[in-house]
Amino acid sequence: MDIMLQLKILGEMLLALILGGIIGFEREAANKPAGLRTHMIVAGSAALLTGLGEVLVMQMSIEESLIRADPIRMIEAVITGITFLGAGTIIRHRGKDQIEGLTTAATLLLVGAVGIAVALGQFVLAIGATVVVLLILRVVKQGEEKL
């Protein structure tokens, strides 16, 4: 693999780590089960896996293999792993109609999507999604508390 391509993927991973960390910081400040490091690692791993998926597709195209590359499967695999991780943050209290951790699980899924967006070069989309989610987590939360 070309060293420049590897550095590009690493740079995308770092940006995804930063964007995931911004959302993770908010979760950490709210004392939620998955915080700064978890969100950073999920976003970074999604970007890395997406970048590696692109490399795999390029290599398979060059070799003209009989195997058909489907980039959507790579994204599906990333999302499956993240949802499994997110399920671990959801807690249901016995005897009560109370469930905790759904928003954190949702933010894990979102930072995975942010990581994929970064790896696909969709930087404005990734940064915009990060800002929108922060607004949802803070502004909508304040509105809910007032209601």
> How confident is the prediction along the chain (147 residues), in pLDDT tens digits per residue?
589 999 999 999 999 999 999 999 999 898 887 889 889 999 998 999 888 888 877 776 665 555 666 778 878 888 898 988 888 888 877 777 777 888 889 999 999 999 999 998 899 999 999 999 999 888 887 877 777
How far apart CA 134 and CA 104 sit, in angstroms, is 12
Give CA separation, 49 vs 11, 123, 127, in Å: 13, 17, 19
Q: What is the pLDDT of residue 75?
A: 85
Q: What is the pLDDT of residue 141?
A: 76
Q: What is the pLDDT of residue 35?
A: 84
Tokens at residue 100, please?
A: 């905790």
Give this prediction's pTM. Answer: 0.77
**H helix or E strand, kind and range, residue 93:** strand 91-93
